[in-house]
């Protein structure tokens, strides 16, 4: 890996950030997206979150978790309980993380 | 038009404070995640100066982590870019939803806004402004969120890069990033259709997790959008669409 190769690659990655996040923002004219697609896209944020979160919580090296001795399960349960009790995201994060760190450092899960 | 109404600086607008405030909750998760990303970058073998350059310019955590091993191994640039492109595909979908809010700006301004639209800004903004039409308070709200989100990501990433050996990542606090996403996801579960869509997306993502380049996320979004459309069009009007209320 030469430094210049890396710098060019990194600059290209920055361009890709702009190109993907700005994909439908670039054209001056409205792109004719079908109405049904525009309607359906309102499920996209929720779907993206669920799709990122589910494998991180439920899977271990490509397989579903098969043990209860996994700190992620208990951290997720605690965070979930907090959220539906108080509806605050900060408290959800703090509760889950505390359970996570306690089980990892205390029990080695 | 929008600019003319903002005669005072944008950060004095009350919506700027609101945008910042509504980002603070999730920013702790972003920060923990940034820290872990910084440590991972430091341990990848990429020189510090290049890691800092990458973090500051690329500003897309999962694409950075996907590109790193290839970059360190000296893979050709096109391959690195192809990977990042696939990991970032979800942003293409998001950009279609940003368009109605930003369409009246000149192109350079649209693209500048686009650059900063990370996942969490997208979710929080769309929850605040469910109607896809421009309004003067959107710009200050947007930048208020960025003003919290950007440093909450960048500073911990830098800290992770510089202090990699001193940070006990085995404690698992990087999980805070996932918990932030989880909390945001719960806050979007407003009706039965949204629960079903989230369940379908989660199942699809788990079932297709073996796909390379995080393409399972794209599959899951497509599946959830399809099932959402089915529910919106095949059920009586008793079920309100998820974001058409307020």
The per-residue pLDDT for B210 is 85
| CB contact residues (below 8 A), chain B span 42-101, against chain A | 46-47, 50, 53-54, 57-60, 63-64, 67, 71-74, 77, 80-81, 84-85, 88-99
pLDDT at B111 over 90: yes
pLDDT tens track for B12-56: 899 999 999 999 988 888 888 888 888 888 888 889 999 999 999
Whole-number pLDDT of residue B102:
94
Residues of chain A with Cβ-Cβ distance to B129 below 8 Å are: none
The model's pTM: 0.79
Q: Look at residue A16 and tell me whether its pLDDT is greater than 90.
A: yes
The answer to whether B235 contacts chain A (CB < 8 Å) is no
Say if residues B143 and A52 touch (Cβ distance below 8 Å): no
Residue A67 distance to chain B (closest CA, Å): 17
For residue B50, list chain A residues with Cβ-Cβ distance below 8 A. 3, 6-7, 10
B12 neighbors B142 (Cβ within 8 angstroms): no
- For A90, counting Cβ atoms within 10 Å of its Cβ (0-12 exposed, 13-18 middle, 19+ buried), the class is middle
The pLDDT mean for chain A works out to 87
| Greater pLDDT, A5 or B239 | A5
Whether residue B63 and residue A13 make contact (CB cut-off 8 A), yes or no, is: yes
Q: What is the pLDDT of residue B168?
A: 78
Strand pairing class (A63-64; A59-60): antiparallel
A23 chain-B contacts, CB cut-off 8 A: 91-92, 95-96
The percent of residues in chain A predicted with pLDDT above 90, rounded, is: 32
For B71, half-sphere exposure in the C-beta direction (CA atoms, 13 angstrom radius) is 28
Strand-pair partners of A64: A59
Of A3, A22, A49, the CB nearest to B123: A49
The predicted-structure confidence for A31-57, as pLDDT tens digits, reads as follows: 788 888 878 887 887 888 898 889 888
Structure-token pair, residue A23: 């994909």
């Amino acid at each position: 890996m030469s430094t210049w190769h890396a710098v060019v690659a990194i600059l290209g990655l920055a361009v890709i950030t702009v190109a993907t996040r700005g994909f439908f923002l670039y054209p001056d004219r409205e792109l004719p997206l079908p109405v049904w697609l525009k309607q359906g896209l309102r499920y996209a944020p929720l779907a993206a979150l669920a799709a990122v979160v589910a494998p991180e919580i439920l899977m271990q090296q490509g397989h579903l978790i098969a043990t209860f001795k996994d700190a992620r399960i208990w951290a997720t349960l605690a965070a979930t309980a907090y959220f539906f009790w108080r509806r605050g995201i900060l408290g959800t994060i703090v509760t889950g993380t505390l359970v996570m760190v306690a089980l990892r450092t205390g029990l080695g899960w | 038009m929008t600019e003319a109404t903002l005669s005072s600086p944008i950060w004095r607008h009350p919506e700027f404070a609101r945008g910042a405030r509504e980002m603070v909750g999730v920013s702790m998760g972003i920060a923990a995640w940034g820290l872990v990303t910084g440590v991972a970058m430091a341990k990848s073998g990429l020189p510090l100066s290049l890691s800092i350059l990458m973090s500051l310019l690329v500003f897309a955590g999962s694409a950075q982590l996907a590109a790193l091993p290839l970059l360190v191994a000296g893979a050709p640039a096109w391959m690195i870019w192809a990977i990042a492109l696939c990991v970032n595909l979800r942003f293409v979908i998001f950009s279609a939803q940003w368009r109605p809010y930003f369409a009246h700006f000149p192109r350079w301004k649209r693209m500048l806004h686009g650059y900063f639209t990370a996942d969490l800004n997208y979710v929080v903004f769309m929850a605040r402004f469910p109607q896809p039409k421009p309004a003067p308070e959107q710009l200050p709200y947007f930048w208020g969120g960025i003003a919290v989100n950007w440093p909450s990501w960048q500073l911990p990433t830098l800290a992770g890069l510089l202090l990699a050996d001193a940070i006990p990542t085995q404690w698992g606090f990087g999980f805070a990033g996932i918990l932030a996403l989880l909390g945001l996801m719960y806050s979007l579960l407003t009706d039965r259709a949204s629960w079903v869509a989230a369940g379908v997306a989660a199942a699809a993502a788990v079932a297709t997790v073996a796909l390379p380049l995080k393409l399972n996320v794209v599959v899951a979004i497509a599946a959830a959008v399809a099932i959402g459309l089915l529910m919106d069009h095949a059920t009586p009007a008793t079920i309100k669409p998820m974001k058409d209320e307020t």
